[in-house]
Amino acid sequence: MLKQLSVQNFALIDQIKIDFDNGLSVITGETGAGKSILLGALSLILGNRADHDSLKDKTQKCIIEGAFDVSNYDLKSFFDHVELDYADNTIIRREINPQGKSRNFINDTPTTLGVMKSLGSRLIDIHSQHQSLKINDAVFQLEVLDALANNQTRLSNYQAIYSEFKQLSAKLDELRGEAAESKTQEDYLNFQFEELEALSLKEGEVEGLEIEQERFANSEEIINNMSQLITGLSQGETNVVDSLSQLKQLLSQTEKFDASLKEESERLTSLHIELLDLAAELESKAENFHHDPERQEIVEERLAEVHRLQVKHQLATADELIPLKIKLEQQLEAISTVDLQIIATEKELNKSKKDLEDLAIQLSKKRNEASKKLILAVENTIHQLGMQYAKLEVSHTNREDFNQYGLDDFEFLFSANKGMQPQLISKTASGGEISRLMLAIKRVLAEYKQMPTILFDEIDTGVSGEVANQMGIILEEIASQRQVISITHLPQIAAKGKSHFYVYKQEGGERSVSQMKRLNHDERVEEIAKMLSGSKLSEAARINAKELLSQ
């Protein structure tokens, strides 16, 4: 529950600090005195967006702080999940600097606005005048039914599977698109691959073919040169090998007379042997080399095919045809496996769909059961609130496709008068009737949602007299199990408060300032009398106020 609210430099508020009690607290004050400002300040520590214009003094920062007793609400796991220190007395603080930037703290630890909002939604349910319009909203109506049906876990499980279902559906659409596109390319890719497969090019093969082509192109000159080399080395009348042999013998004879020539003699012998070996190799290659027109044609045709494919695929080198063939093979394999992926994804999607259908049926069953409880409870309350012939119906239709809430469409239909067929609330209910209907729904929700604090901002709009008195009784009843704060303009409700706060404007300086104070018994008599009779207080109004308070 909210124990204390402190507001500094916000809108018309300089600084106020309010201590709240359990049970029903009422807040009254003249129109424009600042009751809505207080609500705005509270909403900031519950995670609403901040605005630089909210600062009263644009040169100073705004600070709003709320102290909450959370000891009885099993929130420790939430604090652990968001990595915050838990405390039974939790402090939520919001600071807005003159530049409009906001800082958020929970138990003096900086936190995000999302975490603050998530915690706030577990602490206070604020019912503003604007929220009454949500009664026509399909999502709000589902939330009401789910709260009564205790569907929170089922809905959470459903939505997790629904998210997976949407992802699988998108994946399947993507795979089918890829398959359709790939099928149109498959023949062309296959043709390209078969060309490269038939080529069967090896790494470095082109370099060898080009050397061979060069040799064939110059075969006549090669044969002529080889003949001259062999003749000069070993086969001519005067050749290098014979000459070197004679020189070797001459040096060998000289070595007998001069031992210092031994090394030179050995070198000449080695050179002679090397030349003999060279001559033999050249003779062997000359015997084996001959111009082969058939082989030359084969080489030139292969090089031409390689060059054609290199140009076709716009490659810098012929060797790049090898990784291209591998890439084409992988693309063809991917095309061949996409059908298998589609089959696997369809299987997953069908399982997900079956799980969704099972959970959607459970949700629907529980919601229909809850709708009966809701109708009974709401009609009892609105009859108590002076609409004895009012009827509520919950229309249910099944959807053809899933959405994030299941396969249900629910609509609340309402009739305020005898003999009138229930219709959409937006078409049939007045402002006062909507207020009473919303209070009836909130009364039911309070039993199921276990919200620590409920704040009603003029839930009594459009009602008066005995209806207002009954509305106050209902607020008292709700407040018997939790803290209720009601901003009201009706004396019948104000008199029901366990605590009574008065918001007023104080004129002074350059601007009006909003103030708030807790009223004692005598001050409450005066305030309620004023609400009954206006600014001119009469003794009858005071007597009436005392009577209301005594009740």
pLDDT in tens, 351-367: 999 999 999 999 999 99
Picking from 520, 524, 517, the residue whose alpha carbon sits closest to that of residue 542 is 524
- Encoding tokens for residue 26? 């009422």
CA separation for the pair 488, 485 (Å, rounded): 10
CB 183 within 8 A of CB 335: yes
CA distance 4 to 91: 9
Report the alpha-carbon distance of residue 484 to residue 498 in Å, rounded: 10
Q: Residue 511 — pLDDT band, cuts 50, 70, 90?
A: confident
Q: What value does the mean pLDDT of the chain take? A: 87
Tokens of 232: 């000069």
d(CA 375, CA 389): 13
**Dihedral sign, CA of 447, 450, 452, 454?**
negative
CA distances for 533 relative to 138, 522, 549, 550, angstroms: 41, 17, 16, 18
The pLDDT tens digits of the residues spanning 514-549 come to 889 999 999 999 999 998 887 678 888 899 999 999
**What pTM was computed for the model?**
0.69
Supply the DSSP symbol for 231.
I
For 136, 372, 392, 424, 440, the CA distances from 428, given in Å and listed in that order, are 11, 21, 12, 7, 17
Give burial (CB, 10 Å; 0-12/13-18/19+) of 246.
Answer: exposed
Which is more confidently placed, 360 or 513? 360
Residues 430-482 have pLDDT tens digits of 888 888 998 999 999 888 877 889 999 888 888 888 898 999 999 999 999 89
Count other C-beta atoms under 10 Å from residue 509's C-beta: 8
Residues 394-414 as b or e (16 or more Cβ within 10 Å = b)? beeeeeeebeebbbbebbbbb
Dist CA 391 CA 393 (whole Å): 7
Q: Strand locations in 311-405, DSSP E?
A: 391-403
Q: Stretch 387-405: mean pLDDT, rounded?
A: 92
Dihedral sign (CA 424, 429, 432, 433): negative
Span 111-155, pLDDT tens digits: 999 999 999 988 998 887 667 778 888 899 999 999 999 999 999
